[in-house]
Structure 1
Amino acid sequence: MKTIEEIKKIANQGPFEANWKTLNHFEIPRWFKKAKFGIFIHWGLYSIPAFNNEWYSRNMYRENSEEYHHHIQTYGQHTEFGYKEFIPQFTAEKFDAKEWIQLFKEAGATYFFPVAEHHDGFQMYQSELSNYNAVQMGPHRDILQELKEAGEKEGLVFCTSSHRAEHWFFMGHGKEFPSDVVEPMKKGDFYWPAQPEPDNQALQSTPYPTAEFLEDWLLRTVEIIDRYQPKVLYFDWWIQHESFKEYLQILAAYYYNCGYVWQEEVAICYKHDALMFGSGIVEIERGKFSNAQPFYWQSDTAIARNSWCYTETLDYKDVKEILYDLIEVVSKNGNLLLNVGPKGDGSIAEKDQILLKKIGEWLKINGEAIYDSKVWRKSGEGPTQLVSGQFQENQPVSYTPEDIRFTVSGESIYAFLMAPAAGGKVLIKSLATSKNQDVPEFHGLIKEVKLLGAFDDVQWEITDEGLVIILPEIIDELPKVCKITIV
């Protein structure tokens, strides 16, 4: 295990140094910009109670919350059955890394992000910094290593995430009434440090994390980097707090210098301007941009609206909504990271499997318009416009037959018909070549138009209003893709 001094030395010996000036030399990995679609995995102790969402460990200690009352009614008083009592129940008897990876591959994913440590502090990997990890307790298996090996064997790029930062306060409510969250605590204990929760997410909120906690955060993250060599690291919220800035620069420089030694392109995904812009990949949680961006980014969302982990009350999206998300993100210069929450026993719920397989079926037909594609000169046309920003998924977006999104790859422009009308006429105004326009949007010569997955040729013609396409009979309501080949 490296010391803080050794980490700082490596962070300042290479192409990068622990400052924003050199970290701004970061470049988005080429493989990442081609990959387009990945799988996020929230699985841990919180999957055992499977109640409400993955914040069970925090909320069960908040008096009068749903989780608080549910916990007492189901498991008993917090002094007798605390969160740590879920560890012996977390045996992962049905976990099979190969089966997971096969499913993700069938879904069309090209990379994946299992959560290494969530806010609850239980590590899903082998660790020298705490005994509270999946190798020494619970499953007695190195979950992260099994997934990495299975994924890489099938050609999926291994990435991982750390949500450790929030652990500073995540168990703090347990000190407000008799529970198993009691003093004294020391570094390495499961609930440590269990500080009072800030009233808000202010960048300078107090109590200010101590150097001991921040160094522990750095050591834990470096341990993941050294042991598992992920191609991308993802950090959840609260590392944007002022206290993390120095440590984030050290960590980023360390990781990027390791990538240079490994001869691998690596990256950090971050939210809320935790990193200086240009030193990592911008992450948008449960949201998108309304227009194509000049920088590359990633949107992370979940199969369900109301939780990232498996629960008995998931509000599932349908496959059409997920495909809309994928198309909107890719057409606007980003990747989609779709979360799946396995059950506590390690199996993946049947509904999740059905949705993933349907996504994969669509991608087998239309994947050439997604993978390795680039944005066109405009992301789309039509009346439906998204609202830029996070947490914009309360209601699914409704599209019209006039809503079209674009990508480009090779010699073709791909037009995604978001709500195609069976046997109807499609007008793509962005491909008009009218002489009446002062600045035509399109000057190319169209050689051929095909509807991906259709057996019959489509009828099409160029008019002053745009490219007109007559669609054949359509058997479902999923988005369709027209491949428009240019001479």
Structure 2
Amino acid sequence: MVNPTWDSLDSRPLPSWYDESKFGIFCHWGAYSVPAYRSEWFWWYWKGSNPDPDVVRWMNKNYKPDYSYADFAKDFTAEMFNPKQFADIVQASGARYFVLTSKHHEGFTMWPSRTSWNWNAVDIGPKRDIVGQLKEAFKSTNVHYGLYFSQFEWFNPMFLDDGKYNTTVYTDQVSFPQMIEIVNKYKPEVIWSDGEWDRTDDYWKSKDFLAWLYNTSPVKDTVVVNDRWGAGTAGKHGGFMTFQDHYTPGKLVTRKWENCLTLDRQSWGNRRNMTSSEVLSVFEILREIATTVSCNGNVLLNVGPDMHGLIPTIFEDRLRELGLFLYTHSEALYGTKPWTYQIDTVGDTWYTSRYRNQPNDDFYNKQIEGETIIYAWILKTSVDTIVLNRVTATVQTKITVMSTNKVITPTAGKTISIASSDIPWKDLQRRDAVILKIEYAASDNHNPLDDDLTTPPPRRNLKIKKGKGHKGDYSRI
């Protein structure tokens, strides 16, 4: 039993399935998929407190003067939507969980919410219960089903009045009932909260909701939540930490965290003017997975379906190609833990690990000669020699080039050095990423907790543009 206090809520153990899954697919889909211009923040750019001139010009050029944002929902028909196709693509990607935007900041709900009359996917547009139909489709897969939920709505009069009069009408009548509704009706195993940043967790009734979720809800034993539950909670309170979008610390984080990023570098929602060069490559995704999982994180990779209900073909191609690699190298990913080192001293090599026999309740694996299996994710392959300075060989050390039958015996008593000519490149699925399985390496007493874990290095720039939120610049979804 947990109490509605952060000390109590934060002490609730994270269900093990989430850490073991490592990789999930995010899906931003809503009325903003109809204009499909700029990003899912289209309505705010058009009608917010500081309209974007480019978006205003685009609307004036392409739509009649009396066109409203609500009119977009009529064209959000999703006539090509096949929930089983969504589930098939997600499962083929190697993802082990899926998170759908049940409601974004526009307030349009993808289920027939009792508190969103005529502004939901059943009353208008698709006239289908998108949340429910996808839930049903994923039942036949090994993918956990989750829901994103925006706490606030840009232009909801009740939300705006609460800010003026210091009341909680919107929370009491809209956001809180909607969260209870989606949990009771769809039983999601992930609740991904967002849009909370301007008001306190007390305003959102977050602690009360989470206490109910963990104690008596139908998913109390399996559900996981993120850390966006009120101003100042990100990176501090909740289940897993997101800190900020595209968070990639590059070093071990003691608390479970998630790196959420987009296949389209420019937007989370669908864009009709997206170009192929703006879509992450499979190698870039693999690099995000390696650098994230080695540091105790999960990756949540976003796709934005179009207004017709289709995941863009280029996204599908990326996900299916990615899945071929992940399934072939699944042993190095699912159910692993960070190793005593996260990155090597040379090249671009990251480590995951597992114990051969003994259980481990810690967040990383120590290096024990006969017990620890190391997986070295080699992401710089255009070298004459692959050097692993963090791994010392013994007379028993065995190195297997994963996805092949090639076994390499290193020199005992030395750090590992492998000539490029010893790698069977022609047998590999990819030549830009290689994973080595290393068994019976020498024990090492290094403790990553002795390293500086407090100040993360600068984030790697994936060239993802920031937009402007309702109170200035944002890097939030």
Indicate the residue corresponding to 1:29 in structure 2: 15
Instruction: Using the TM superposition, give the Cα deviation of residue 128 of structure 1 relative to its aligned residue in structure 2, in angstroms.
Output: 1.0
Structure 2 residue aligned with 1:234, among 192, 201, 220?
192
Query: Any conservation in 2 of the 1:458–1:470 contact (CA below 8 Å)?
Result: no
Question: Is it true that 1:369 corresponds to 2:332 in the alignment?
Answer: yes
User: Residues 421 and 102 of structure 1: is their aligned pair in 2 closer, same or farther, counting only changes over 3 Å?
Assistant: same
Instruction: Using the TM superposition, give the Cα deviation of residue 37 of structure 1 relative to its aligned residue in structure 2, in angstroms.
Output: 0.4
Indicate the residue corresponding to 1:456 in structure 2: 406
Counterpart residue type for residue 53 of structure 2: S
State the distance in 2 between where 1:483 and 1:473 align. Answer: 15
Unaligned ranges ≥5, structure 2? 357-372, 442-477
Structure 2 residue aligned with 1:152, among 130, 139, 151?
139
Indicate the residue corresponding to 2:438 in structure 1: 484
Indicate the residue corresponding to 1:301 in structure 2: 261
Indicate the residue corresponding to 2:53 in structure 1: 65
User: Residues 211 and 484 of structure 1: is their aligned pair in 2 closer, same or farther, counting only changes over 3 Å?
Assistant: same
Indicate the residue corresponding to 1:408 in structure 2: 353
Question: Is it true that 1:427 corresponds to 2:387 in the alignment?
Answer: yes
Q: How big is each residue's C-alpha offset from its partner over 1:407-466, in whole Å with a ceiling of 9 and x where there is no partner?
A: 1023311011011136x3211111137xxxxxxxxxx764310111234333533453x1
State the distance in 1 between where 2:94 and 2:55 align. Answer: 36
Between Structure 1 and Structure 2, how many residues are aligned? 410
3-state SS of paired residue (1:84):
helix
Matches within 5 A, 1:273-284: 273-274=232-233, 277=236, 279-283=238-242, 284=244
3-state SS of paired residue (1:153):
coil
3-state SS of paired residue (2:410):
strand
State the distance in 2 between where 1:244 and 1:478 align. Answer: 49
Query: Any conservation in 1 of the 2:402–2:436 contact (CA below 8 Å)?
Result: yes
* Percent sequence identity over aligned pairs: 24
State the distance in 2 between where 1:208 and 1:66 align. Answer: 34
Q: How big is each residue's C-alpha offset from its partner over 1:54-88, in whole Å with a ceiling of 9 and x where there is no partner?
A: 011111214452111211211122xx210000111
Structure 1 length-normalised TM? 0.79
Q: How big is each residue's C-alpha offset from its partner over 1:235-281, in whole Å with a ceiling of 9 and x where there is no partner?
A: 1243462264561111111111135x656321211247426835421
3-state SS of paired residue (2:175):
helix
Indicate the residue corresponding to 1:110 in structure 2: 96
Query: Any conservation in 2 of the 1:25–1:279 contact (CA below 8 Å)?
Result: no
3-state SS of paired residue (1:429):
strand
User: Residues 210 and 263 of structure 1: is their aligned pair in 2 closer, same or farther, counting only changes over 3 Å?
Assistant: closer
Q: How big is each residue's C-alpha offset from its partner over 1:305-342, in whole Å with a ceiling of 9 and x where there is no partner?
A: 11001102332111111110011110000110000111
3-state SS of paired residue (1:307):
coil
Structure 2 length-normalised TM? 0.81
State the distance in 2 between where 1:287 and 1:86 align. Answer: 32
State the distance in 2 between where 1:340 and 1:276 align. Answer: 24
Matches within 5 A, 1:132-211: 132-165=119-152, 167=153, 170-171=154-155, 191-193=156-158, 195=160, 207=164, 210-211=167-168
State the distance in 2 between where 1:64 and 1:273 align. Answer: 28
State the distance in 2 between where 1:279 and 1:194 align. Answer: 24
User: Residues 209 and 91 of structure 1: is their aligned pair in 2 closer, same or farther, counting only changes over 3 Å?
Assistant: farther
Instruction: Using the TM superposition, give the Cα deviation of residue 220 of structure 1 relative to its aligned residue in structure 2, in angstroms.
Output: 1.2
User: Residues 195 and 240 of structure 1: is their aligned pair in 2 closer, same or farther, counting only changes over 3 Å?
Assistant: closer
Q: How big is each residue's C-alpha offset from its partner over 1:75-116, in whole Å with a ceiling of 9 and x where there is no partner?
A: 122xx2100001111111011110011011010011100000
Query: Any conservation in 2 of the 1:39–1:104 contact (CA below 8 Å)?
Result: yes
Question: Is it true that 1:217 corresponds to 2:182 in the alignment?
Answer: no
State the distance in 2 between where 1:246 and 1:238 align. Answer: 8
3-state SS of paired residue (2:192):
strand
State the distance in 2 between where 1:290 and 1:323 align. Answer: 15
3-state SS of paired residue (2:112):
coil
3-state SS of paired residue (2:142):
coil
RMSD between superposed Cα atoms in Å: 2.3
State the distance in 2 between where 1:19 and 1:427 align. Answer: 49
User: Residues 222 and 275 of structure 1: is their aligned pair in 2 closer, same or farther, counting only changes over 3 Å?
Assistant: farther
Structure 1 residue aligned with 2:343, among 377, 380, 393?
380
State the distance in 1 between where 2:264 and 2:434 align. Answer: 24
3-state SS of paired residue (1:27):
coil
Indicate the residue corresponding to 2:425 in structure 1: 474
Structure 2 residue aligned with 1:247, among 187, 198, 205?
205
User: Residues 243 and 421 of structure 1: is their aligned pair in 2 closer, same or farther, counting only changes over 3 Å?
Assistant: closer
Counterpart residue type for residue 148 of structure 1: K
Q: How big is each residue's C-alpha offset from its partner over 1:175-222, in whole Å with a ceiling of 9 and x where there is no partner?
A: xxxxxxxxxxxxxxxx434739xxxxxxxx965763101212111111
3-state SS of paired residue (2:11):
coil
Counterpart residue type for residue 161 of structure 1: Y
Q: How big is each residue's C-alpha offset from its partner over 1:332-354, in whole Å with a ceiling of 9 and x where there is no partner?
A: 00110000111110011111011
Counterpart residue type for residue 35 of structure 2: P
Counterpart residue type for residue 440 of structure 2: I
Counterpart residue type for residue 142 of structure 1: D
Which shows bigger deviation, 289-298 or 262-271? 262-271
State the distance in 1 between where 2:166 and 2:424 align. Answer: 61
State the distance in 2 between where 1:56 and 1:162 align. Answer: 18
